[in-house]
Amino acid sequence: MSYIKEVLGARELLSNLVLREVRGQYKRTIFGRLWSLVSPLASMLVYTFVFSFVFKVQPAKGDPSGLDVYAVWLLCGLLPWTFFANAVSSGMGSLVANAGLITKVYFPRLVLPVSAVFSVAYNWLFEMLILVLAILLVGGFVWPWLPFVVLMMVVLALFAAGIALLLSIANVYFRDTQYLLSIILQIWMYMTPIVYPITLVANQSARIGGLLGTPVTILDIYTLNPMLHFVEVFRTLLYDNTWPEVSDVVACVIWAVVAVVLGVWAFSRKEKRLAELL
């Protein structure tokens, strides 16, 4: 409890670090924060061409929204994933990037990865607002579900923060972590139903049946992916314009709680040696 109180006492430092990251990120650029949209929009154009026009991937229409726009369907899953990937990557490298500060001044080191996640979340909020406007333009009716969308954004941010805390410590001990993470994130993305609907996996799983003579199917293993549940929740709220499955929401909350608890526990145990190791 004393450690948590110490971290909570550093709220002002946390807010200053977040402001520093937000203000400095696009300093002296012409388009400013609009640059945060370039990467997801470029990815959307590439994935839309490859999967919608070349491979003819056709997700089901939004139910009950009736939306049938692959690019919008894609962004509903791509933006949460992009936030998660960027937040985890930034949080993981925050301790090494601030080694000079850590070795000179004492403060709760936990605020560094958390501030990195929060600064990425600020950009994500801006991107999600643009997505909501796009959904409204194509005929969606997302207003009633916006409060729950914001709540789930907080849950995903907590999950990302927990993972970032764990990896930031690992990156101090083993600098290979940053290179391994980039590979894992590439694989993880394609193992998540972002550019294709989960029905494709379900159909293949049903065709193959149980693995190695067991009742365990590919779909059973596939659904262990925590980001699958987050993507499904955001897509249901934003694209389908209806309430998500309770099981998906519960899974998201459980994963977030587990990640935060493990992250804070591991960080508090290893924090005292950071200055020495860096």
CA dist 276 → 51, 96, 268 (Å)? 49, 12, 15
Q: Please state, in angstroms and rounded to a whole number, the distance separating the CA atoms of residues 215 and 195.
A: 28
Residue at 45 is within a domain? yes
Residue at 221 is within a domain? yes
Residue at 4 is within a domain? no
Q: How many domains does the chain have?
A: 1
Taking the CA of residue 257 as centre, how many other CA atoms within 13 Å lie in the half-sphere pointing to its CB? 6
Residue at 23 is within a domain? no
**Between residues 38 and 92, which one has the greater pLDDT?**
92
Residue at 103 is within a domain? yes
Residue at 8 is within a domain? no
pLDDT tens for residues 94-114?
988 888 888 887 778 888 999
pLDDT tens for residues 206-242?
999 999 888 999 999 999 999 999 999 999 999 999 9
Residue range of the domain that includes 229: 30-277
Please spell the DSSP secondary structure of 61-87, one letter per residue: PPTTT----HHHHHHHHHHHHHHHHHH
| Average pLDDT for the chain | 89
Residue at 148 is within a domain? yes
pLDDT at 5 over 80: no
